[in-house]
Amino acid sequence: MLGIGKTGWIEKDAPVCGPLDALVKPLAVSPCTSDVHTVWEGAIGDRHDMILGHEAVGQIVEVGALVKDFKPGDRVIVPAITPDWGALESQAGYSMHSGGMLAGWKFSNFKDGVFGELFHVNEADANLALLPDDVDMAAAVMLSDMVPTGLHGVELADVQFGDDVCVIGIGPVGLMAVAGAKLRGASHLYAVGSRPDCAALAREYGATEIINYREGDIVKQIMELTHGKGVDRVIVAGGNAEETFAQAITMLKPGGRIGNVNYLGSGDYVKIPRVEWGCGMGHKTIAGGLMPGGRLRMEKLASLLSTKRLDPGKMLTHRFNGFEHIEEALMLMKDKPRDLIKPVVIL
Ligand code: NAD
Ligand code: ZN
């Protein structure tokens, strides 16, 4: 990222490895919709000459003197969020906000990301996980961000056995939310999306109904399907601050929860409809969060792939080989052709 709205290639000095840290060479990377918000919406403010990217698996090139569990040559899963584990926010259970709100998100936010020949990982023992041999490397890139984020939407909505769940937005994050809601025991699972390939994959991951937001009001559609009752949980993984929360609140039963993982890249306020929110008394909770990162999370989620409980590799619609294709993959993510779900670049 050269500046807001501008990308290109730059030369930078190799990062320096601190005593707890690692330097990693990427083996496979993927661009994220968040990179698009960052560059083309300027959503986190201006950044100059910052290397983008926060989804990677890689190979360790160097470790600091105090790193115990990793060594050069190890193939590792790199989470998008790499907290400072000693921070008070981490001790309070919110490691993704270690050092300040959203500050556990370092790659392509506060420091250079993973689209470089080498990148730096803080607190390697706490933030990296070994890539299991039986997990496909391209699929494993989805462990950096898409899997943990989609599943975090499910956690934030606190999906219970038998719940009726609606997932709004079925790009890769929403698709992982669908898969996660199924793993958590959702019964009726409504997926809101418009692209046929995403809809087909949502069904594969467990959606029982597809709601097309381009074919009429989604609240009306949900209310018809639920005989006027609405749903127990809503996971927001797409849409906007103006319209989507109004829809989510309206379709939610009293006592329900909204789990938002959508990155609201523009606008000043989120709109909550007063009456549908029970005039403030409807017990309709909105929880929004950045995905948790770190080693334990990565190891656990990788075991979902090893045991074949989850296959995020099905989302990889576009595969590239070679560093020079990273820019093309990023532009695909920006332009979102109808047949794109997620690109991956093998290096
Ligand atoms: P995506 O753009 O591929 O998917 C979003 C989907 O929402 C698209 O398919 C789009 O067609 C759909 N959509 C747009 N308007 C809609 C509407 N009005 N109603 C329903 N659906 C609508 O993006 P993604 O890669 O799946 O990521 C989803 C969001 O999650 C992005 O904003 C991304 O930045 C964010 N994100 C958050 C975290 C986190 O930690 N919380 C991590 C990664 C990504
Ligand atoms: Zn991301």
Question: What's the pLDDT at 265?
Answer: 84
263 Cβ inside 6 Å of ligand 1: yes
Confidence band (pLDDT; 50, 70, 90) for 196? very high
178 Cβ inside 6 Å of ligand 1: no
Tell me how far the alpha carbon of residue 261 lies from the centroid of ligand 1, in angstroms: 8
Amino acid letter, 14: A
Confidence band (pLDDT; 50, 70, 90) for 242? confident
- The DSSP bridge pattern shows strands 189-192 and 209-211 to be parallel
Question: What's the pLDDT at 29?
Answer: 98
Which residues have CB less than 5 Å away from ligand 2 (the ion)? 32, 34, 145
Asked if the model's pLDDT at residue 241 lies above 90, the reply is no
238 Cβ inside 6 Å of ligand 1: yes
Tell me how far the alpha carbon of residue 64 lies from the centroid of ligand 1, in angstroms: 37
Amino acid letter, 226: T
pLDDT digits (tens, 9 = 90+) for 309-325: 999 999 999 999 999 99
Tokens of 249: 């609140």
Question: What's the pLDDT at 23?
Answer: 98
Question: What's the pLDDT at 266?
Answer: 84
Distance CA 175, CA 258 (A): 16
User: Under DSSP, is residue 192 helix (H, G, I), strand (E, B) or coil?
Assistant: strand
pLDDT digits (tens, 9 = 90+) for 129-154: 999 999 999 999 999 999 999 999 99
Tokens of 210: 């597809």
